[in-house]
Amino acid sequence: MKLAIVGVTGLVGRKMMEILDEFNFPVDELIPVASSRSAGQSIKFRKRKYTIVEPAQAVSLKPDIAIFSAGGSVSKEWAPKFAEVGCRVIDNSSAWRMDPTKKLVVPEVNAHVLEATDMIIANPNCSTIQMVVALAPLHKKYTMKRIVISTYQSITGTGKDAVDQMEAERKGKKEIPMVYPHPIDRNCLPHCDVFMDNGYTKEEMKLVNETRKILSDDTIGITATAVRIPVTGGHGESINVTFEKNFDVQEIRQILDQSEGIIVYDDPSSNIYPMPLVSAERNEVFVGRIRRDESWPNTLNMWVVADNLRKGAATNAVQIAEYVRKNFM
């Protein structure tokens, strides 16, 4: 098994190596890939040093699987070139997510859509992944009509430069590179990704469009507000969901508790509810504050948290790679 990680020096790329190791994913040869700035440097994986190469050299090595986390422009240019040499690509950027010829996959939810002919597979957006893991089993039972989401997203979703900005602000540094248009420390920015003509950000529209694609249901009404907050442990989501059918709250808890990849963490009387600190370095999606919305029929409120670098990115990609390896290789 020759496995390439494209964008290996980034936050998600490094996390992918950790998770490959944790999952005991069989890797006979790692091909670490980055830009020309990092090419030639060495990186350690399973007690062995590997030399970082540029994408062109990686393609010539013909890896079996390549996991991309290097941005949309890199994926658009290089994913087809890897696929042409018989390499299966799992892409963490937004480049292929809404391409009708590509599958958008969360393994617990829709791995069954994958086929042996899929050479480029899209990894969904971090906030979408944790939401659909929590909602898919409920949709199957009660049928969702409408979802209202407010996200509280870690700065690690933006990358290392955002973490550097926050740390510099906390140290009182004045002249610092600004990743965000405003300070992030002791602040909340209702501004994830860029604004679009409809007044929503790209991040908010990803939640709408990707959720419908993953669940194969364009009839679900979805609206979102995405907010960046000064934490590094994970993303939180306040989710209000209206179903076609009525439900029993205890049955909701049982369904979630029995669903793959979910931990029900919900005992407010003991101050037990999901937080970024709870989800940090975990691969599961945590669900709590489960309660009926008393203002509207057949409507539920819940609070969903996951580590955005793990389940929101690297873990989901490795899980796709594991499914592909076991079923098609």
Q: Is residue 240 located within the same domain as residue 201?
A: yes
What pLDDT does residue 175 have? 87
Asked whether residue 243 falls in the same domain as residue 290, the answer is: yes
Q: Mean pLDDT score of the chain, rounded to an integer?
A: 97
For residues 117 and 154, state if they share a domain: no
Cα–Cα distances in Å, from 181 out to 176, 193, 228? 12, 11, 12
Do residues 220 and 254 share a domain?
A: yes
**pTM here?**
0.95
Q: What is the pLDDT of residues 123-141, one digit of tens each?
A: 999 999 999 999 999 999 9
Single out the residue of 262, 289, 258 nearest to residue 274, CA to CA. Answer: 289
- Same domain? For 141 and 7 the reply is no
Q: With 0-12 CB in 10 A as exposed, 13-18 as middle and 19+ as buried, what is 171? A: exposed
Domain of 13? 2-124+313-328
Residue found under tokens 């442990």: 233
Residues 110, 150, single domain; the answer is: no
Same domain as 253, residue 173: yes
Q: What is the pLDDT of residue 233?
A: 84
Total domains, the chain: 2
CATH number at 271 reads 3.30.360.10
pLDDT in tens, 268-290: 999 999 999 999 999 999 999 99
Q: Are 164 and 289 contained in the same domain? A: yes
User: What is the domain-level CATH number for residue 79?
Assistant: 3.40.50.720
* Residue 142 in this model has a pLDDT that exceeds 90: yes
Tell me the catalytic residues: 126, 235
Residues 168 and 238 in one domain: yes
- Residue 174 in this model has a pLDDT that exceeds 90: no
Contacts of 254 (CB under 8 A, 6+ apart): none
The angle formed by the CA atoms of residues 222, 187 and 273, to the nearest 5 degrees, is 60
In this prediction, residue 16 carries a pLDDT of 96
User: Based on the domain organization, do 142 and 66 belong to the same domain?
Assistant: no
